[in-house]
A = this chain, B = another copy of it.
Amino acid sequence: MEQRISFVTLAVADLEASRRFYVEGLRWHPELDVPGEVVMFAAGERLVLSLWDRAQFEAEVGGRTVEGPGLLPFTLAHNVETPALVDEVLSLAGEAGAEVGAATDREWGGYTGYFADPDGVRWEVAWNPGPIGRRVVPGTDPTPRR
């Protein structure tokens, strides 16, 4: 098989709240928008982020989703070209109503913070000057940390 993730699907408790967060808050543009069912966004060259109404997800997948307490065992990351953009995206997420963890310098040389979407899905917003970080960011700025 090829090494490719094509879709990341999140089962969301309140699709309208999620839609508002991503569309009005983060200003993402839906690629497909079926009220009460699903909202899909392009999230990369050949990648789609799909927000799927949790009840419908459970019905199709066949089971109930896990209940807390605890962290979801996965995170998404949004990598950016500069440390200043980390702060800018976190600020946008905060204005959109997200819980935000302020960015800090990391031992490994990066600068990252996070926000949580309405279902508690944790997005790390990261400036990573290493090879893996450069790999994922279009037009990485090669200048050192401000």
Contacts and interface: CB of A to CB of B under 8 A. Distances in A.
Interface of A: 1-12, 26-29, 31-32, 40-49, 54, 57-58, 61, 63-80, 88-89, 92, 119, 121-122, 124, 126, 132, 135-138
B76 A65 contact: no
11 contacts: A1-B80, A5-B43, A5-B77, A5-B78, A32-B132, A44-B45, A45-B45, A46-B135, A57-B73, A61-B71, A65-B72
Contacts of A124: 7, 9
Given A65-B72, A70-B64, A72-B65, A44 B77 contact: no
A19 B119 CA distance: 29
A74 B72 contact: yes
Nearest to A30: B3
Contacts of A8: 5, 8, 74-77
A133 to B, nearest CB: 8
Contacts of A121: 74
Given A47-B136, A54-B73, 20 more contacts: A1-B26, A1-B92, A3-B29, A3-B42, A3-B43, A4-B78, A5-B8, A6-B126, A6-B136, A7-B136, A8-B76, A9-B76, A42-B135, A44-B45, A48-B136, A63-B70, A65-B70, A65-B73, A66-B67, A66-B70
Contacts of A6: 77-79, 126, 136-137
